[in-house]
Structures are given as structure tokens and as C-alpha cells.
Amino acid sequence: MLPSFADSVLQLIIRTSTDLPPDVRAAMKTALGSEPTGTRSSQALTIIAQNIDLAVDTEGAICQDTGMPTFEIKVPVGANQIWMRQQIREAVAEATRRGKLRPNSVDSITGSNSGDNLGPGTPIIHFDQWDEDEIEIKLILKGGGCENTNAQYSVPVELPHLGRADRTLDGVRKCILHAVWQAQGKGCSPGAVGVSVGGDRTSGYLHAKEQLFRSLDDVNPDPRLAALEASIMASVNKLEIGAMGFGGKVTLIGCKIGALNRLPASFFVSVAYDCWAFRRLGVHLDSSSGAITKWLYRDPAHPIIPMLDQAGFTRTGREVTLKAPLTDGQVRSLKVGDVVLLSGPMFTGRDAVHSYLMTHESPVDLRGSVLYHCGPVVVKEEVVKAGTSGSGWRVTAAGPTTSIREEPYQGEIIKRYGVRAVIGKGGMGANTLAAMKEHGAVYLNAIGGAAQFYARAIKQVDGVSLLEFGTPEAMWHLTVEGFPAIVTMDAHGNSLHQDIERESGRHLEAIGV
């Protein structure tokens, strides 16, 4: 067998999770340079850039959501795919043990987390044969927040702000613009889209995801699709959705389009949205040893250029410093656009915790609390204190998750438990906004994907409840210090998300014609 195969796959996983490829870095650096200093988007991109640098320096996960590991593999004729599949599964489990991947494989019936990223359908491994002697493995880690913003259109279709999209390339253009507009900041913009024209519902989505393996700076070999990609990139940033949906000049960093034949009756446009944490890499392996002979997307001879040449997120002195638990007065004094620096206790809670709190008592007193929509990467380690030793928890990655999933629960939870601040990303809806106004609470938008940056604001793990839901879904009791976030929904009925959606809808109308 190939003695180095498993280790090569492990290296590929770790590098993919911790070190963004050069084409994505270059695009993000351009994005950062495009936003005027001091704007919300500029602040968000500065934190993202700092996070990218921190991740590679410490070999930590760029984002706590390490996504669905998806491997695309090409092997010489005669290669043993059964053995390779097993080796890849073991490498995935090992990367999870080392905290480079978050346990992300959840039983869809029971909700239990396998803990090692293995289970029916996870990881995704596709094999293909080719005429080369080497083995090629490409890997993409695409998280849930951006996966949830994927879209598929059955054309012709009537689209808000754009009118009818026909079975033409102009109709495809409208579908892509609509998908980007609809994503707003929920998929951690600025993002990139892979698009498939045609196929059927399943092959279309797969083909769209495959487009994300193209380099951001390549040119489509089909001149018609190259022209469409260029046209999208020339107009899409006029939507002014900006980083995290805060409003700004850069909304998309790439658009890659492919086409498949279709049935005469069907015309699907499938859009796979990937976030700024666009983690995909690849390797070539020697087919007799399994050792890495070449890295794809990166030249190892080139040093990694830091994203930032200055200090990163620096305080201006205008931030509002708050210490939890919070009072009604503190919360009502905040308004949309304020930057806050939070200290004190904070509790994590996402899908399972929200559902639980609707029918059970909270395991902790949540009055005046800060509830963080976050599924962190947490590792257990030995702690030596005052001559005694035991085990403790350490958070290694802890950015926000997409908040809108909790919309059916959030208003009731604010009312029932007296939560004063909810932190997440992408914003929430009308029910939550109304509950915040009535009961005195705010929504704070943290910077999606900035997992390393926020992990450093967590000073200790004080405890954990509901661990039976798995580490991402448990309720972690944290102490934070100087945790920065932006008020995007206040206790007076104002929502930056609603404003940006309305404004960008107007821009969509203008560029859609």
C-alpha cells in the first residue's frame, strides 16, 4: 500500500482548514483596500484579515465551522479506492481529534453528533479515474452558513426586483444577481459563487460546487461564460451589500460558471455560495508512496504574505464598553452602528439550545445575559493549578454562526429568560426585532468566520451545559474580555439588516436591467 497516503491527506486537511490559498488572500486584500478606513465594512475586513494571519501563525482553524469535508480525487487506473476511502476517513477523524476540524457530522434523525466527522454521507468523497500516473486530491471545506445560502432556480422564473429571468444567458445573469442579493451577509460576505447552468437538480448543485475549485484569477475557456463572469463581477458590487452585509463596496470576490446539458423540459441555474473563508486546496501524490509531490493553488517556494501590515483591529476610543450582566438602561442607550466591547460572562447557544429552551428550564440564569450564537471548537486538555492537575476546556476557534435560524425561537427566549444581548451574524427578523423593542435587548453582529480573533477574546471556559448535544451545540459558559461587535438591531426598532436589504434591492433593480 502507499505508506505516506494517510499522512498526506492529513496535511492537506490541516493546511486547508488553517491557511487560505493565495488567490483568496489576494482577493481579500484587494477588498480590504477598497473600503474607506473607519467604515463598518473596513472594520469587518480588518478583523477578517487579522484572523487569516492568526490562523496561519498558530495553525488554528480559520473559521470554527470547518464545513462539510468534500474530496474530489483522480486516481490512475487500477488504484484501490476502497483502501483510499478508509485512509481518508481515518485522516478526517485524526484532524478532528487535533481540533483542526470541528465535529460536524450529525445524525439527522436523533440529532447526535458522531464526534469524529464520520457518518453516513460524511465526509463526501468522489473518485474519478484519469490517464496520469499520479493521484490528485482536491478538498473544499464549505461551512453551513454559506451552504444555506445556495440557491437553485427553475427558469423561466419571476424574480423580485429583476422581473422575469428567461432561458437565456441574460436570465442566468439575473438568477446569479438574485442569489447574491438574497444571501446578504448571511453567508459571510464578501463571498464567491460557483454556478452551473443546466444539468438536473442534483448534478446542477454538484457541478456548481465543482466550479469553486477553479482559481479566482483564471479565465473561463468558454468565451460566452467568460463574458458572463466578467459582466457579473463588473456589476455585482454595485449592490453595496459589503462585508458581513454591513453595506460597502465589495460584495463578491469571484464568480465561476460552468454548463451541463439538460433535459428539454428543464433549465436549472444552480448557485453554490462560498464565504470569504473560501478554504480549498489540493495536492498531487506519488502513486507508489502516497507522498505529496506538488501543492495545487499555491507555490510552496513563495512565502505567505501577511494580510495586514499594521496592528489589525485597533480601538478608536469611541467604542462602548459593557460588562455583563446588562441592564435595561445600558441596552436602551445603544443604537445601530455603535461598536461595543463586551466583557464578563457569555453563554453560547445555537439550534439545539434554542429548541431546548422552548420546552425546558434554562440550566443557567439568563437574566441580563449575553447569548452568543456560536458553535466553538473546544479541546479538553490537562490543566495544572496550584500543584493539582485535572482536565479543563480550551476554546480554539469561536466565531459567530448565522442567527436567522433561531428566528422562530429568539423573541420568546428574550421574553421568557430576560436575555439582554444576542450576538451572531447576518441579523434576525421582524419577530426578534419586536421582542427586543418590547423587552429591552439588542442584536450585536460579530464578524463571521473570525474564529481565531474571537477565540482570543475568550479568557476562560467556566463550565458547560447540555454537552449531550455535542460540542458545537452545547451551552458553553465563557468569560470574555474586550469582545468587539457592532449593534445592528437596537431596542428602538431599528435594523441595519432591513435597511441594507431595502437599499441593495433598489441597486439590484438598477443593475438588473
Site residues (CB under 6 A) for ligand SF4?
63, 65, 67, 143-146, 187-188, 275, 277, 399, 401, 448-449
Beta carbons of 450 and 399 less than 8 angstroms apart: yes
| Nearest distance from C-beta of residue 144 to ligand SF4, angstroms | 6
Strand bridging mode 475-489 / 442-445 = antiparallel
Nearer to ligand SF4, 69 or 418 (CB): 69
Nearer to ligand SF4, 411 or 449 (CB): 449
Count of all residues that appear for the chain in the document: 513
Nearer to ligand SF4, 101 or 172 (CB): 101
| Nearest distance from C-beta of residue 62 to ligand SF4, angstroms | 8
Nearer to ligand SF4, 67 or 512 (CB): 67
Residue 341's DSSP bridge partners are 321, 484
| Nearest distance from C-beta of residue 483 to ligand SF4, angstroms | 16
Give the up-direction half-sphere exposure of residue 176: CA atoms within 13 A in the CB hemisphere. Answer: 32
Beta carbons of 273 and 193 less than 8 angstroms apart: yes
| Nearest distance from C-beta of residue 74 to ligand SF4, angstroms | 26
Query: Nearest to ligand SF4 by Cβ — which residue?
Result: 143
| Nearest distance from C-beta of residue 124 to ligand SF4, angstroms | 16
Nearer to ligand SF4, 9 or 47 (CB): 47
| Nearest distance from C-beta of residue 136 to ligand SF4, angstroms | 25
Distance in angstroms (rounded) separating the CA atoms of residues 347 and 372: 6
| Nearest distance from C-beta of residue 278 to ligand SF4, angstroms | 8
* Residue 18: strand, helix, or coil: helix
Number of other residues whose CB lies within 10 A of the CB of residue 7: 16
Nearer to ligand SF4, 198 or 426 (CB): 426
- Give CA separation, 213 vs 122, 143, 203, 259, 433, in Å: 19, 15, 16, 15, 39
Strand order in the sheet with 151-154: 151-154, 268-274, 191-197, 252-259
| Nearest distance from C-beta of residue 264 to ligand SF4, angstroms | 36
| Nearest distance from C-beta of residue 466 to ligand SF4, angstroms | 21
Nearer to ligand SF4, 149 or 432 (CB): 149
| Nearest distance from C-beta of residue 40 to ligand SF4, angstroms | 17
Q: Characterise 497 by phi-psi region: left (phi > 0), alpha (psi -120 to 50), beta (else).
A: alpha
Distance in angstroms (rounded) separating the CA atoms of residues 341 and 319: 7
Residue 217: φ, ψ to 5°: -100, 15
H helical segments located in 282-344 = 328-332
Nearer to ligand SF4, 68 or 413 (CB): 68
Name which of 402, 30, 425, 450 is nearest 252 in CA terms: 30
Which amino acid appears at position 242 of this protein?
Answer: G
| Nearest distance from C-beta of residue 225 to ligand SF4, angstroms | 26
Distance in angstroms (rounded) separating the CA atoms of residues 428 and 431: 8
What is the DSSP secondary structure assignment for residue 245, as one 8-state letter? G
Nearer to ligand SF4, 64 or 465 (CB): 64
| SS3 sequence of 195-218 | EEECCCHHHHHHHHHHHCCCCCCC
Tell the residue number behind the cell numbers 439588542, with chain if given. Answer: 442
Nearer to ligand SF4, 63 or 441 (CB): 63
H helical segments located in 379-462 = 407-417, 430-439, 451-455
Distance in angstroms (rounded) separating the CA atoms of residues 266 and 200: 7
Nearer to ligand SF4, 44 or 366 (CB): 44
Strand bridging mode 135-142 / 279-285 = antiparallel
